[in-house]
Structure 1
């Protein structure tokens, strides 16, 4: 698409957007033809995102983009900002969508960090809803310089100094995030906005120098610019060098992960981790946590975790807590589990999910989205140890419930009743895999995934009259989503 450039800043911004657009892959349509991918712009209403959205609409066309706004509710002006953003987009013929979020701060987590996490979760969800293939962010060279300086002052490692990448796909994110303006200065964006007579909103919190980034922006960077005019370029080069070094470290971690990973990377072999020297083990731990979508932990915390793993026995209960998760060790594997390390490992993993009920009439599958899996019912012989009388399935409604702790079952005809926790431990089922739906027939526990049928559910022969009506036997199997063909 052609466009008219009115000023050097105008040309710089439009060219940057054009380069980013040309790098997007074509999206296949239902007819097998290629179509232009849809671009989502994270639109706060500030000057940076206003420039980006305006430029994307000019270069790509309004129909190819959508403006996404997140309403945090942290400012008394949030409703006015929402109205401004919607108006700005509508005036340019750009689709607009917004999401209201509640910012909840966890222990030791700042308001800024909590708001940022909530914002990106909402933006990812909006991208999926509206079919956007990339999420464009308006950070620029000044933001990059601030980030590198902040990381230096915090004593960050290579990953921190790499700062913001021009394009990346975070672990667990739905779409790739792109920063087309990362090499442009804030002053150039201001010139573009002035030349286009753009209107934008000012977040009053940006002037509060109690926040570290604002203090750098208002008090430190202007002084640096006087004595070191090229500091932004120098810090950008530092970020590029650090990103290159981090890629090498990540490649090393991937190789170590292949030897140490269990359960699709959800757990690591304790022995494989401890066979590495400290630097390499710490590198693997950082990479593993990023792959799980966990926030980065401090070097001190990871070093302490490694020390505990090296100094104590395999059955030792670790005392490592991070971001609402506890690092656990179980039968030679380590893993992260929601909860506090002071609590018993098994019970902290339990998650209350909505119960589902089915009046079984011979269905072969029962889909349970809340557990991301399916119960499969298939005809079986009476001597199959995993089979139950079909009459038992019909006699009362089937209910799938969450574990609450303390449930018991008998997994052999003559065996004693035992707790599910003990049976899971005996079978070597890791705690993170025990969050499974329990299948009840009426009030009786009938089947437990990974453990099998509860023989106590029908201690006596099924009533003869019922059995004559339906003497078949049915095998029950639980399949997680990834196992469904």
Structure 2
């Protein structure tokens, strides 16, 4: 392997990685014994990044992560090459196979990219790393800005790729140390180091928009506008700066409109804003919930419906497997399609959990992100039940299946949980709670209380001297 320590390309690449390593020296992920991951496809860009990372940080601090999409007949060969490349440098290696599922209206490029990042996130968590290095460079940035311009993207799209960011819902910070270097500089580094890499045949297929830009458009731009990459990079920086200001405005609006820690919005507060500002809030709110960005047309339709129809009108805005709902002055996203009736059954299915109660004070249910709490109480506490009832049969926590009924008062009629939730003004997305059964008898429902049909001795007829236990449901304060 040729030693190129004095070549300009070598110095540029190593200096860029040195800057990335020293950018946050106080952060724990950059401690001397901490590792970072490199997304390693085996192509020239990621090969340069991995080789240089081992030189700058040392091979023990790197782990190469490879995603096997199975889209190419050469995928198995690429996997073997990547593992050998990493092992030759003393770098740990891990890989994951994924199946790319392409939904209607989603390109194979986008589906493969999403599958790749999900797999990389999973691998990072498995191997205990909190930083993922990616090999995109200045030419990639220019292509991204042009693509977004041609798609009519807003500021968030034009901001293109950040050098360091933590995407909503992602487990690790993503870093792009090579973002300010040209593809030609990486090629010079690879040639000087005599690196071997794989060529993905799909990169030559100009039916894909990015490839068409790379092979047909950018070379022509380079002839007539040789500084176009720097100009597009400045455009991305300006867009990112403007987007940050819009996000600050959205945070102010979200603070005024948020209900229940931002899981819902006040309908009146949202509609008090001008359309442009309301759309900005909706985009920011959806991003905070981990939802994919919606088109301007879809957001405009949502605002139109909210302004034109009654407060409890059943909205028909579907997006990314969710339906936008309006209920008692609040709007929120609910899993499922808007054609489905809101909240007939639980939104998320959970396994049944059982407990043979022997006086425990807490019963933690992580799948529901909460805990049942049992405390001694007086017989006149309306959320208290006889201790003997808790011991008489195993307790079970179950999801709603639809049609369950309970008596919310000692002498009242049995009513469906759906009706009781509606009467109490509990929105559908808060009704995914565990139902507490004693044997086959519904005993307690969070947010509604005790089912008075669960035992015959009630109110003034409660047994004198009998031990009673109050039941409470406490949600986790922090949702992961």
TM-score (norm 2): 0.94
Count of paired positions: 473
Equivalent residues in 2 for 1:250-261 (5 A)? 250-261=247-258
Report the alpha carbon displacement of residue 36 of structure 1 after superposing the two structures with TM.
5.0
Which secondary structure does the structure 2 equivalent of 1:215 belong to? Answer: helix
Q: 2:82 aligns with which of 74, 81, 85?
A: 85
Residue 311 of structure 1 is matched in structure 2 by: 308
In 1, Cα distance between the equivalents of 2:215 and 2:345? 45
Contact kept in structure 2, 1:138 and 1:180, CA below 8 Å = yes
1:317-345 deviation digits (Å, cap 9, x = unpaired): 11111111111111111111111111112
| CA deviations over 1:143-179 (Å, ceiling 9, x no partner) | 1111101100100111111111111111122221111
Give the SS at the match of 2:117. Answer: helix
Q: Displacement of 1:265 after TM fit? A: 1.0
Question: In the alignment, what sits opposite 1:39?
Answer: 36
Deviation at 1:82? 2.0
1:127-156 deviations in Å (ceiling 9; x for gaps) = 222221211111111111111011001001
Give the superposition deviation at 1:400. Answer: 1.2
Answering whether residue 10 of structure 2 is matched by residue 10 of structure 1, we say yes
SS of 2:265 mapped into structure 1? strand
Residue number in structure 2 paired with 1:481: 476
Contact 2:354 2:397 in 1 (8 A): yes
Q: Within 2, Cα distance between the matches of 1:107 and 1:348?
A: 27
In the alignment, is the contact (CA less than 8 A) between 1:69 and 1:97 conserved in 2?
A: yes
Shift of 1:118: 2.2
2:40 and 2:47 in contact (8 A); partners too: yes
Match for residue 338 of structure 2? 341
TM-superposed CA distance for 1:389, in Å, is: 1.4
Conserved? CA contact 2:38–2:132, under 8 Å:
yes
Where does residue 26 of structure 1 map in the other structure?
A: 26
Alignment partner of 2:138 out of 132, 141, 144: 141
- Which residue of 166, 170, 179 corresponds with 1:169? 166
1:218 is aligned to 2:228: no
Query: Are 1:378 and 1:474, in contact at CA under 8 Å, matched by a contact in 2?
Result: yes
Q: Is the 8 Å Cα contact of residues 398 and 441 (structure 1) preserved in structure 2?
A: yes
Task: Assess, with a 3 A threshold, how the Cα gap between structure 1 residues 75 and 355 changes in structure 2: closer, same or farther.
Answer: farther
Question: Gaps spanning 5+ residues in structure 2: where?
Answer: none
Tell me the C-alpha RMSD between the 2 structures: 2.1
Q: Secondary structure at the match of 2:337?
A: coil
CA distance in 1, matches of 2:102, 2:261: 30
1:232 to 211, 229, 233: 229
SS at match of 2:102: coil
- The alpha carbon displacement at 1:187 in A equals 1.1
| CA deviation string 1:71-122 (max 9, x = no partner) | 2222232222222222221211112222222322333222222222222222
* 1:437 and 1:448 in contact (8 A); partners too: yes
What is the alpha-carbon distance in structure 1 between the residues aligned to residue 403 and residue 126 of structure 2? 40
Show structure 1 runs of 4+ deviating over 3 A: 25-29, 33-37
- Residue in 2 that maps onto 1:464: none
Q: Which runs of 5+ in 1 are unaligned?
A: 462-466
**2:462 pairs with 1:472:** no
Partner of 2:266: 269
Please state how far the C-alpha of 1:69 moved relative to its aligned partner.
1.7
